[in-house]
A = this chain, B = another copy of it.
Amino acid sequence: MGAARRSPQDLIETALGGNRRALAQLISLIETDPSAAAVCVSRLHPRTGRAAIIGVTGSPGTGKSTLVNELAKAFRRRSQTVGIVAVDPSSPFTGGALLGDRIRMRDLAGDDGVFIRSMATRGSLGGLARSTADVVRALDAVGYAAILIETVGAGQSEVEIARTADTVLVVEAPGLGDEVQAIKAGILEIADVLVVNKADRDGADNTLRALQTMLDLGSAPRVVPHHGQIMEVSALASNVAAKGWRPPIVKTIAPEGKGVDELVDAIDRHRAHLEASGEGRSRRRVRAAAELEAILRETLLDRLMQQIGRVGLDGVVDRIVAREIDPYTAARALTGE
């Protein structure tokens, strides 16, 4: 296949011209070849900034995939093009399609205004977060108006990926049990819009009320005495105050499309708030700084590794394993401190 031998530059120009196949190849290149990714980003970055980037996260079983499909359809009804990036940090598979994708293909296939991509961990987790940011950048540069980033789990890795977005939806559903409730604490803090999906199920109103209570929790951090020490719980409420935005709670029944238009409206309102308040700009700064730091870490390490060489590094690792030296002392020695 001659197309596969195209230069990155050629692929970028063809993708920017609207060729879906070239875009798919470009994204594969970004995922698999870090040095090509750097070249691509240099060309793509100046053309970005127009898309509404929406992160969708929540525990397994909340119906995120179906909701993302319905959101895509709602954006299409508003004549906006849609890119979907489904990220599964727990899976080593990539390049193909994963969870919920069979349904997704049936619903959205054949619509040229929708581009779908699944991603998974090939190497490190940090690598996945960065690849996701670069793939979103490609979709933005090429002109997709709304980009939905769906993450599968609810762990810290998903939170980091969701932070690539301008607006983060956290999806809950009734009756997911205690352990899932506990997970919420971490991800609620990043929610711009809360969704109670499966709102026709028993317990939906309880879920709604629980979320409202968490939003209402006074502005002082809760203090929970435990083990004789004081554990400070950074309340969601203090975040609400800091952001000047109280996350609205939207009830949806995704398979029936119920509540989805209201959800799109809430996303639009949040986007308007981001621009009016300056919060959008400050988030973009935080994101750019985090991305720059991640790239610097890898650049600096690569350069040092080239200096030390494989054999040199192996020797140091052997000494650490033999407990002749500890890793911090070894790091200081290797960096010439």
Smallest CB gap from A313: residue in B: B289
Interface presence of A332 (CB below 8 A): yes
Interface presence of A183 (CB below 8 A): yes
CA distance A298 to B126 in the complex (A): 14
Interface presence of A264 (CB below 8 A): no
Assess whether A48 is in contact with B154, with CB atoms less than 8 Å apart.
no
Interface presence of A159 (CB below 8 A): yes
Assess whether A160 is in contact with B125, with CB atoms less than 8 Å apart.
yes
* Minimum CB–CB distance for A97 against chain B, Å: 6
* Minimum CB–CB distance for A170 against chain B, Å: 12
The size bracket of the interface on A is 35 or more
Q: For residues 245 through 297 of chain A, which have their beta carbon under 8 Å from a beta carbon of chain B?
A: 281, 284-285, 288-289, 291-293, 295-297
Assess whether A329 is in contact with B42, with CB atoms less than 8 Å apart.
yes
CA distance A125 to B154 in the complex (A): 13
Stretch at the interface among A10-18, A73-81, A142-150, A318-326: A318-326
Interface presence of A95 (CB below 8 A): yes
Interface presence of A113 (CB below 8 A): no
A185-B91, A297-B297, A335-B299 are known contacts. Are A231 and B328 too (CB-CB below 8 A)? no
Stretch at the interface among A195-203, A211-219, A222-230: A222-230
Which residues of B have CB within 8 Å of A291? 320, 327
Assess whether B296 is in contact with A304, with CB atoms less than 8 Å apart.
yes
- How many copies the complex holds: the figure is 2
Interface presence of A303 (CB below 8 A): yes
* Minimum CB–CB distance for A109 against chain B, Å: 10
A186-B90, A231-B96 are known contacts. Are A296 and B288 too (CB-CB below 8 A)? no
Residue of B46, B120, B301 touching A300 (CB-CB under 8 A): B301
Q: For residues 179 through 204 of chain A, which have their beta carbon under 8 Å from a beta carbon of chain B?
A: 179-180, 182-183, 185-187, 189
CA distance A300 to B337 in the complex (A): 11
Q: For residues 77 through 114 of chain A, which have their beta carbon under 8 Å from a beta carbon of chain B?
A: 88-93, 95-99
Interface presence of A156 (CB below 8 A): yes
Which residues of B have CB within 8 Å of A220? none
Assess whether A125 is in contact with B157, with CB atoms less than 8 Å apart.
yes
Interface presence of A317 (CB below 8 A): yes
CA distance A173 to B320 in the complex (A): 38
Smallest CB gap from A62: residue in B: B179
Which residues of B have CB within 8 Å of A120? 186
Which residues of B have CB within 8 Å of A321? 281, 284-285, 288
Interface presence of A210 (CB below 8 A): no
Which residues of B have CB within 8 Å of A238? none
Which of A45, A156, A329, A332 has the most B CB atoms < 10 Å from its CB?
A156
Assess whether B155 is in contact with A153, with CB atoms less than 8 Å apart.
yes
* Minimum CB–CB distance for A34 against chain B, Å: 10
Assess whether B96 is in contact with A292, with CB atoms less than 8 Å apart.
no
Assess whether B288 is in contact with A293, with CB atoms less than 8 Å apart.
no
Assess whether A93 is in contact with B320, with CB atoms less than 8 Å apart.
no
